[in-house]
Structure 1
Amino acid sequence: MTVSNPVRRLAVLASALTAAFTAPAFAAENGQVRALLGAPSYELATPQFPGVYGQLWYQHYSADKVKDNNGDDVSQSATVPGVGVVPVKVDTKVRADVIVPRVTWITEQLVADGRLGFSASLPLVKQRTTVGLSSPVAALQPTLNALAATRSGEESGIADMEVAGFVDWQQEASRLAGGLAVVAPTGDYEAGRAVNIGTGKYWTLRPLLVASHVWENGFQIGTRTTYSVNSTNRDTGVKSGQYLHADWAAVYPLGDLWRIGVQGYALVQTTKDKGANVAADGNKVQTYGAGPTVAYLSESGTWAIDFKVMQEFAVRNRPEGTVGWLRLNFRVD
């Protein structure tokens, strides 16, 4: 590249790069959704008798890739008049640790022959996002480093709370539950900040359905499916699209105490994000995950613990990584 006035041209490049990387890569919510991906497991097919149940779950998420709308690694560039296109390599690492206190209450009240129940969860999150930007134009690296710093950060705190009501119908070999959940914007959120614990200043309404079946040999499958509808984020004017989230588990008993199996989830955004600065493709997110799970159920039946690890694939418009869960479920009364 021949430049007659290097200082002036580098200043123009720096200005163009700053403009190109000021806006987030995704919508105002940065590809985040209100979903505990892969959380449910063996309990999908376990009878839930009237009483109060406590859950304490720990999730670790690690991602070293961010995928674009085509499922490719995110890459960006800046076009500068008189210079041309300057390619910029984007390296992103996301690490998140989540503790989820959750409580479920199955009442004695019958509704259409099913038991009325309620649940509430309030995730506690620590997230670190590190962005690196690099270009073949070595003189631009200081500018890129400064821009990368504005897109990196670490935050911790309370995330968005979910409260649900449902009716649970159970038979000897099957279970069906239907209900409605509401997610409130209780998490800390600041428009334009690189990392937010809350997903935005908006509400989410989600119908839910749980279905499972157990065969005579003990093999069991279960799924929990929700469909989320969001209001407009009052801090950004962006309305996140609707999305389907389904968790599934297939487990087999090894005696009375152990369960082994396969766990997975699917997240598919069905409508586009809408609002200022939203890309024409609508930032529709997608991800799938699957992996092994193992669970131990106590002889008393009052508590259980399980562990699972799931690898993500076929990702669009969000990070692609690995999610692990260590969960303790117990009966309170």
Structure 2
Amino acid sequence: MNTCNNLKLTKLAASILLVTLGSAAQATEGGGGVYPNGNENYMAGALPPPGTYYLTYASHYQASTLRDNSGNRIPLDFDVQADALALRVVHVTEQKIFGGQLLFHAVAPLVNLKVRVGGSNDSSSGLADMVFGTGLGYHASDKLHYVWAVDVTAPTGSYDSNKMANLSRNYWNIEPVFALTYVQPSGFNADVKVMYDFNGINRATNYRSGQELHADYSAGWALGNGWTVGVGGFVYRQITDDQQNGATVANNKGRAYAIGPSIKYDSGKGWFLTAKFEKESGVVNRAEGSTFRIKALLPF
């Protein structure tokens, strides 16, 4: 492998964890994306009553395999690890618009990223790209709930096009969201959060990452004692080609799936905790790894 290709793959390996919570990355610029695929779990579409709520998302991601356009392993010795803690505040108002409860939220992700490629090492720690959003929450019944929302990701993290490890994508992103939850204290429970990403231009590289369609999901069985056990993961597909300097970047669209065990504990007193482990498969044009995640909600 020549020096130029090795440097390119090194930067790809390093950048797969630029995203807000250290999730696996897409085959956009450097293989990264703004949303941490698989981040959501049970209760993704169930809006709580009016008030202010604090959520925390903790994750550990690790990858040591890169896949090419045919899904074959790229022969590169590397390891990427990211430990992340995202603090999210959700404010549900009394105001209703089109029959839905108006909400606002913001996410501040803190990431510790470590990269090793051959004999090279790099690391970064600190604030990554922040997310701001608004939406409308609906309660179709006591079991069925859903949310329509729009999130905006701002390039607030540190970025240097010459570094292997960055905490920012260095572009703005707009992401329409639809989340649906079916929940009951005993029996079948299910959630899905569907997102579509419109990516801005990275002015430092004149690169625009392609549009992305992805969804987090969970399905489980509530045992009637606060516990729900099941599976969760995500599906991801890049829809449009990347562009650099106005020209199409061919054979670069990403694809991936993930699944693993998922659990939830609901206290019945206004707070709950979820946890899951997910492993990726069917990977094309991106890194392949696994993630352990914990999500907790506490009312103020």
TM-score range (shorter-chain normalised) is 0.7 to 0.9
Which is greater in Rg? 1
Correspondence for 1:295:
264
Matched, 1:119 2:101: no
Aligned-residue offset at 1:214: 4.0
Correspondence for 2:79:
93
Correspondence for 1:242:
211
Question: Between Structure 1 and Structure 2, which shows a larger proportion of strand residues?
Answer: 2
Correspondence for 1:58:
58
Q: Retained in 2: the 8 A contact 1:28–1:236?
A: no
Alpha-carbon spacing, 1:55–1:217, altered in 2? closer, same or farther (3 Å): closer
SS, match of residue 6 in structure 2: helix
* % same residue: 31
Residues in 2 aligned to 1:319 and 1:73: alpha-carbon distance in whole angstroms: 9
Correspondence for 1:49:
49
After superposition, the C-alpha distances for 1:43-71 in whole angstroms (9 at most, x for unaligned) are: 12545211111111210001111111111
- Give the root-mean-square deviation of aligned CA atoms: 2.2
Correspondence for 1:128:
114
Q: How does 1:150-189 map to 2 (within 5 A)?
A: 152-172=121-141, 173-189=143-159
Residues in 1 aligned to 2:225 and 2:114: alpha-carbon distance in whole angstroms: 41
Alpha-carbon spacing, 1:37–1:28, altered in 2? closer, same or farther (3 Å): closer
Alpha-carbon spacing, 1:47–1:117, altered in 2? closer, same or farther (3 Å): closer
Residues in 2 aligned to 1:291 and 1:232: alpha-carbon distance in whole angstroms: 34
After superposition, the C-alpha distances for 1:137-178 in whole angstroms (9 at most, x for unaligned) are: xxxxxxxx5xxx2xx411111111111110111122311211
Residues in 1 aligned to 2:213 and 2:227: alpha-carbon distance in whole angstroms: 31
From 253, 276, 289, give the equivalent of 1:308.
276
Alpha-carbon spacing, 1:309–1:278, altered in 2? closer, same or farther (3 Å): farther
Matched, 1:323 2:291: yes
Q: Retained in 2: the 8 A contact 1:45–1:220?
A: no
Residues in 1 aligned to 2:112 and 2:91: alpha-carbon distance in whole angstroms: 28
- Listed as ranges, the gaps of 5+ residues in structure 2 are 13-26
TM-score by length of 1: 0.80
Correspondence for 1:221:
190
Which amino acid is 1:204 matched to?
N
Matched, 1:21 2:6: yes
Residues in 1 aligned to 2:161 and 2:249: alpha-carbon distance in whole angstroms: 21
After superposition, the C-alpha distances for 1:284-310 in whole angstroms (9 at most, x for unaligned) are: 22221111111211142x221221100
Q: Retained in 1: the 8 A contact 2:256–2:283?
A: yes
Q: Retained in 1: the 8 A contact 2:46–2:180?
A: no
Residues in 2 aligned to 1:167 and 1:53: alpha-carbon distance in whole angstroms: 16
SS, match of residue 220 in structure 1: strand
